[in-house]
Structure 1
Amino acid sequence: MLRVMIVDDEELAVQRLEMILSGIDDVEIGLASMNPQEAYDYARTHPVHLAFLDIAMPKINGLRLSTLLLELNPSISVVFVTGFDNYAIQAFDLNALDYLMKPVTLQRMLKTLDKARKR
């Protein structure tokens, strides 16, 4: 079972990822939040295998949040989900598992989950 967290400052983006992921048998959504600090606090006390992070968020952006999460637990796989393609190099420099462009499709999500299962 893959326990995932979703963090995006857009409610519709969170809902879309929840809808896609909730239909996949071996995925458990541990947290879906619009608040990066809440996500960090959650990861401090709960195991997380896969974190889906938006990049452009206020206060703590997704790149910074990924660094904080990996300091807590280096085995967390990070997937950036964004509308901006210009952060891809930075994302992969942070060892991101994948980089998804919005809107995410089920087919693209399944490819990402296959990568996560193989890791």
Structure 2
Amino acid sequence: MTDSPLRTLVVDDEAMAIERMQVLLSRFEDVNLVGTAGTGGQALRLIEALTPDLLLLDISMPGLDGIGVAQAVQRLPQRPTIVFVTAFDQYAVTAFDVAAADYLLKPVDPARLGQALARVRELRSNAPAAPAEEDGYVKEFWVPHRSEIIRVDVDAIDMIEAERDYMRLHTADRSFLLHQTIKELERRLDPELFIRIHRSKILRRDRIKGLVHLGYGVWSVDLGDGGDHRIGRTYLSDVKRITGK
């Protein structure tokens, strides 16, 4: 059994319920509360961004409810363990249909929460390790999209652009937002397949049709889409290396 704290995300549409759970969790040294969410959609975004070990999840919420969140989570390659925390007992059968580790009724008893955490620890210690990528580079991304989590194959990505705290993954016909820094994303991508041309843009190498000199030392990448893909001066020598120049 690992000694590392359980990285935990609490999801509940009631602020008082979240506050009470925060107080309860503070009694357990082996729990690290990494975030809270008030809606199912927000929960999916935080799960993708924070990759928690444990999800303490309310069921009855407006919009995407806890069961919907749990169903979406099942598609993730690195799934958090789910413990439902609810005021209603009629969802118990459905909860275990989506592989919940435990089912706690509000108001949560501290001793009962301790039992649930111990069960989560046991389940996670016995779980098989996720297979590593053969070459160490990411092969797919799982991104929140409305009420789903969708798999985006790296081979389908043409371009990646920064948008504030997110990265937009462009495919042939759609785009998806991923909560990750461009520096981290660049590290995870195979440099034989992708190249960074700007502080806010990464391109797939085999989509590049040519380079265009715009004058005054300014260059752009031609993707054949009519877009303006300026090359940052810091990255110009790396991009030119593609042509052997």
TM-score between both structures, scaled by the size of structure 2: 0.47
Higher strand share: 2
Q: Which has the higher helix share?
A: 1
* One-letter amino acid of the structure 1 residue matched with residue 70 of structure 2: S
Q: Is the 8 A contact 2:39 2:62 kept in 1?
A: no
CA contact (8 A) 2:51 2:78 kept: no
1:102 aligns with one of 99, 106, 127: 106
Aligned to 2:65: 61
- When structure 1 is superposed on structure 2, of 71-80 and 86-95 the one drifting more is 71-80
Tell me how far 1:74 sits from its aligned partner.
5.1
Does 1:50 find its partner at 2:54?
yes
SS in 1 for 2:64: coil
Equivalent-residue separation in structure 2 for 1:71 and 1:18 (angstroms): 28
Aligned residues: 119
Shift of 1:46: 1.7
The correspondence for 1:83, drawn from 72, 81, 87, is 87
- Greater mean deviation of Cα atoms: 32-41 or 65-74: 65-74
TM-score normalized by the length of structure 1: 0.94
Q: Which has the higher contact order (CA 8 A, sep 6+)?
A: 1
Q: How far has the Cα of 1:35 moved from its partner?
A: 2.2
Pair member with larger Rg: 2
Report the secondary structure of 1:16's partner residue.
Answer: helix
Give the equivalent residue in structure 1 for 2:115: 111
C-alpha contact (below 8 Å) 2:83/2:103 kept by paired residues: yes
More displaced, 81-90 or 35-44?
Answer: 35-44
Which segment drifts farther, 97-106 or 44-53? 44-53
Tell me the secondary structure at the aligned position of residue 19 of structure 1.
helix
In structure 1, list runs of 5 or more residues that go unmatched: none
